[in-house]
Amino acid sequence: MVITMVKLSEEMKSAFSKVKIFPIATASREGMPNVVPIGFCQLVDDEVIWIADNFMAKSLANLKENPNVAIFVWGPETGGCFQIKGETEIISSGEKFEKMKATVHAAKPGLPAKNLIEVRISEVFQCAPGPGAGKKLL
């Protein structure tokens, strides 16, 4: 499927950079939800996120049958909260994959670095409480 990608604002990118662990939600084809904490989640540019699959089991199985993910970006220092929706591609060889693997191994040699999950950001929503909660931002 061809999706329309959106670009995170400077404020959103700054919030993203302050988060250490991201909640990554996936769903099976039947819609059974699954959410996991993920440390290796980096913003590659304004509209693409890379997630390193080291230990994914249900998450990976879900992504193979349903490429959609949701991530919320919040931490004590983010000064707000927003929610990202995106479509993923599972990449297990090639230049991008090797780059992800090098980053993972630089942080902790021996981690499996099984797949690169590339997320193309398609929508962003306000997630902070208040009158704007849930509104589509991008």
Report the nearest approach of ligand FMN to the CB of residue 3 (Å): 23
Residue among 53 and 87 whose Cβ is closer to ligand FMN: 53
* Residue 25 CB, nearest approach to ligand FMN (Å): 10
Residue closer to ligand FMN, measured from CB, 12 or 38: 38
> Closest Cα to residue 138, out of 1, 2, 31, 13?
13
What would the DSSP string read from start to end of the chain? ---------HHHHHHHHT-SSEEEEEE-TT--EEEEEES-EEEEETTEEEEEESS-SHHHHHHHH--EEEEEE--TTSSS-EEEEEEEEEE-SSHHHHHHHHHHHHHSTT----EEEEEEEEEEEE-SSSTTTT-B--
Residue closer to ligand FMN (CB basis): 103 or 126:
103
Smallest distance from ligand FMN to CB 51, Å: 7
Minimum CB distance to ligand FMN, residue 135 (Å) = 29
Q: Which residues bind ligand FMN (CB under 6 A)?
A: 21, 34, 36-40, 52-59
Cβ atoms of residues 62 and 35 within 8 Å:
no
Using the minimum distance from each CB to ligand FMN, give the nearer residue, 107 or 128: 107
